Amino acid sequence: MLQATNLTKKYGNFTALNSLNLSVNEGEIFCLLGANGAGKSTTINLFLNFIEPTDGTASIQSMDVTKHAKETKQMLSYIPENLMLYPNLTGLENLDFFCGLGGKSYEKEQLVELLQQSGLQPDFIHKRVGKYSKGMRQKVGIALARARQASVLLLDEPTSGLDPKASNEFSELLLDMKEKGVATLMATHDLFRAKDTGTHIGIMKEGELIEQFASADVSFQDLEKLYLKHMHN
């Protein structure tokens, strides 16, 4: 579903990402762990075609994202660390707007249902997003991903700054989407969330994917030790 082949991004002499190879299949959640500047967000941005790769390819459903920007974007949904919506529009209006842009048309009642399923309190559905907390905005993002019926989910530290309850709800929603066959690539600092939600984990350091394994193959303690070992070396 998601494939990075020798994916490289350089800014002058600085290598932000060096020859990354990874794949994420249907129903998998691949969590990228790493310190700031490890190359996690660069990877996500390359899959989104927000930046051009220096070398290699990022592909979705075997389509190079730089050559098939429109087609590949129609398959994905993206939730950044801090999902920003239009503060002067309500949650419902924001969802309607972004769904429309993606070519999906829903009745108002269906959109309300999607927002409720994503955990947004009914009282807030018709309120302007300017009054939303970060967790509420992330839930609109999840509703959008559901509404778009995305087969690929790209998440850039989506639970950063969320309270434990909101973070937990978010993980549940991810697992729900995983069950529906969505391939998810998530950049995160949260080891616990990666172990808890991810099917695969990759550790990145200085633009390189230095280790990747199935989540089930390690315990949380082992993961923590492994991560700290790499960070200290």
Partner 1 sequence: MQQLLIIIKKEIIIALREKLVLVLGGIMVLLLGIALYAGFLSYQQQQTIITQKQAEKREEWLHQGDKHPHIAAHYGTFVFKPKTVLSLFDFGLDAFTGTSIYLEAHHQHEFMFRPAQDHSSMIRFGELSATLVLKVLIPLLIIFLSFNAYTRERESGTLKLLISQGISFGTLSWGKILAYCTILTIILSPFLIGLLLFSWVGNPSQAMPDETLRLVLLTLAYGVYLFLFISFSVWVSLRSSTGRNALLILLSSWIFLTILMPKTVVNLSKSLYTLPSMREFKEAIEQGKVYGLDGKTPRSERIASLEKRLLEEYKVDSVHQLPFNFEGVKMQDGEEYTHKVYDHHFGKIKETFHRQNRLSSFASLINPFLSVQNLSMAFSGTDMYTFLHFEEQVETYRREMIRKMNNDMAENSKYGEFFEYAAGRDLWEELEDFSYQPPTVGELLQQYRLELASLFIWTALFLLLINYTNRKMKPLHG
Binding mask 82-101 for partner 1 (x = CB under 8 A): xxxxx-xx---x---xx-xx
DSSP 198: -
- Residue 145's nearest CA partner among 186, 192, 88, 189 is 186
Mapped onto helix, strand or coil, the DSSP state of residue 134 is: helix
Which segments within 61-207 are labelled E, that is strand? 63-64, 76-79, 152-156, 183-188, 200-205
Binding mask 203-232 for partner 1 (x = CB under 8 A): ------------------------------
Compute the least distance from the CB of residue 222 to partner 1, in Å.
35
Cα first-last separation, the chain: 33
CA angle 58, 148, 212 (to 5 degrees): 35
Q: Does 107 bind partner 1 (CB under 8 A)?
A: no
Identity of the residue, 9 or 178, whose beta carbon is nearer to partner 1 in the bound complex = 9
User: Beta 76-79 vs 152-156: how paired, if at all?
Assistant: parallel
Alpha carbons within 13 A on the beta-carbon side of 45: 14
Compute the least distance from the CB of residue 30 to partner 1, in Å.
18
- Counting residues that bind partner 1 (by CB under 8 A) gives 31
Euclidean distance between CA atoms 100 and 96, whole angstroms: 6
User: Residue 195: what residue type?
Assistant: K
Identity of the residue, 184 or 215, whose beta carbon is nearer to partner 1 in the bound complex = 184
Residue 171: partners with Cβ closer than 8 Å, 6 or more residues away: 159, 193, 196, 197
Q: Which parts of 158-197 interact with partner 1 (CB under 8 A)?
A: none
User: Residue 132: what residue type?
Assistant: Y
Q: Which parts of 40-79 interact with partner 1 (CB under 8 A)?
A: 45, 48, 50-52, 69-70, 73-74, 76-78
Binding mask 119-158 for partner 1 (x = CB under 8 A): -----------------------------x-----x----
Identity of the residue, 147 or 204, whose beta carbon is nearer to partner 1 in the bound complex = 147
Element (H, E) at 18: strand 14-24
Identity of the residue, 45 or 167, whose beta carbon is nearer to partner 1 in the bound complex = 45
Identity of the residue, 97 or 213, whose beta carbon is nearer to partner 1 in the bound complex = 97
Compute the least distance from the CB of residue 9 to partner 1, in Å.
8
Q: Return the residue matching tokens 């490289």.
A: 8
- Binding residues for partner 1 (CB under 8 A): 9, 11, 45, 48, 50-52, 69-70, 73-74, 76-78, 80, 82-86, 88-89, 93, 97-98, 100-103, 148, 154
